[in-house]
Structure 1
Amino acid sequence: MARNTDATPAEPKKRFKRLRQIGTAFNQARQLDPAVVWWMLGAFVLILALFVVLGIVFGHPYYLPFVGLPLAVLAAGIIMVRRTERAAYGRLEGQIGGGGAALGALRRGWFHDEQPVAIEASRPGDMASAAMVFRAIGRPGVVLVVEGPPARAQKLAEKERKRVNRVVPNVPVTLVRVGTGEDAVPVRKLVSKLNRMRPALSKEEVTAVNKRLRALGSSPLPVPKGVDPLRARPDRKGMRGR
């Protein structure tokens, strides 16, 4: 009988790729938060110890710890993700374009622009004190994420809101200011705030609004040629751990 020599063991390759991805994520987590190793170890030991105690109490000293082992690994993984997210958002706080970078962590169903749709600098090329507006589109409607000096940022956001209303007049437009203060949202809470907003559009309407606003484009950026206004921004992919 002839053997099928074309068949290849794909499953081990997938497992190896997955392990390599986990290793890469773990190394990135250690770079962002060196203490993450001890937090993960503590969660693992705590969960496993709990199942050991339960095993002794209920007369299954080997079975219950065996059941608790994958749960302990899962707990360590959750701690790694949470600590990494917190450290990443902590680095974005106070950074130029930090609010826009945080939008990259929005869940599926949202559209957002990689670059700000509007920038206003007090002096050409001075991005440290510039007001910026980033745009996100989801089921709650259009969300304009504003950062920079409050007065100029609010004025710029209102101007951008009028532009959006002219193109999609019946779509809700919400302004969210990122930063510090009573009316501002910290970068680490921006994504959760947007995800908690009440839906107002269907999925099909979100796609249609996104296409129309893409055609609208963005306001001209008041910076000299060759200057990247977001050069100092943190890397989005690094923050997402992708």
Structure 2
Amino acid sequence: MARTKSDAGEASSKKPKKQRWYHQVWAAYQMTRRQDPMVTWIMLAVFLGILAIALLIGFLAGHWIYATVVGLPFALLGSMFVLTRKAERAAYTQIEGQPGAVRAALGTVRGGWNFEDEPVSVNRQQDLVFRGIGRPGVVLVSEGPSHRVQRMLADERKRTVRVLPNVPVTTIQVGSEEGQVALPKVARKVQRMKKQLTRAEAAEIGKRLKALGGVKLPVPKGVDPLNARPDRKGMRGR
């Protein structure tokens, strides 16, 4: 029995193997190829095109071997750049239209932004509003048809301004309708927002916004009420 316990302890202590970078590249390529079968030929065309230019310069300069050695890394870099852009587009295509797709896209935002995992507003049609805090202020990002999320954004903005009257609050609608931002472009739009606060002020805003709480009723379709997170602050006040 002791041997069994020690074996179990050794098994639990083993850390999962880290995925090699080439495994990640291969997985990205496989996923992209399913969405865009032409990606292989595009990558090959870019690779051969850059290499041909390097060889041409090498022949003209009389150092084609040196040009080949220098051109190979640039050819690989060019094909990897194509794969990266195509993989990003394929990933957005896979999640577009699914509930929470906006939060997944906002997960790629850099520059000190902090987005809450749970939406701050949700309706029965599963339209969502997510909140982020950064040096540009507070941003409220919605997913869903404009005629439904417009009121949700307005109500959430009022709640935020009530707590933070002097903090900039920006609303962004994500979707395919006129005036909305496409899902692949929302992260870039957020990152380009002008900074107006210090890091300390942004951190303080995050603490104060916790008082607003998270999702309120109605519960969206497909959510199990038994697994929903309780509003513990609201329960204390009862």
Distance in structure 2 (CA, Å) of the matches to 1:219 and 1:94 = 20
CA contact (8 A) 1:55 1:62 kept: yes
2:84 paired with 1:88: no
Mapping for residues 27-176 of structure 1, pairs under 5 Å: 27-121=30-124, 127=125, 130-176=126-172
Corresponding position of 1:177:
173
* C-alpha displacement of 1:226: 7.4
Corresponding position of 1:235:
none
Cα distance, 1:200–1:43 mapped onto 2, change above 3 Å: same
TM-score, reference length from structure 2? 0.78
Unaligned runs of 5+ in 2: 1-16, 226-238
- The residue type paired with residue 197 of structure 2 is L
Unaligned runs of 5+ in 1: 1-12, 122-126, 230-242
**Number of equivalences:** 209
CA contact (8 A) 2:95 2:101 kept: yes
* C-alpha displacement of 1:225: 9.4
SS at match of 1:105: coil
Distance in structure 1 (CA, Å) of the matches to 2:130 and 2:22 = 36
- Name the % identity: 47
- The residue type paired with residue 55 of structure 1 is G
CA contact (8 A) 1:142 1:174 kept: yes
Aligned with 1:199 (options 195, 201, 204): 195
SS at match of 2:43: helix
Normalized per residue, the structure richer in helix is 2
Corresponding position of 1:25:
28
Distance in structure 1 (CA, Å) of the matches to 2:159 and 2:30 = 44
TM-score, reference length from structure 1? 0.77
SS at match of 1:106: coil
* C-alpha displacement of 1:19: 3.0
CA contact (8 A) 2:28 2:87 kept: no
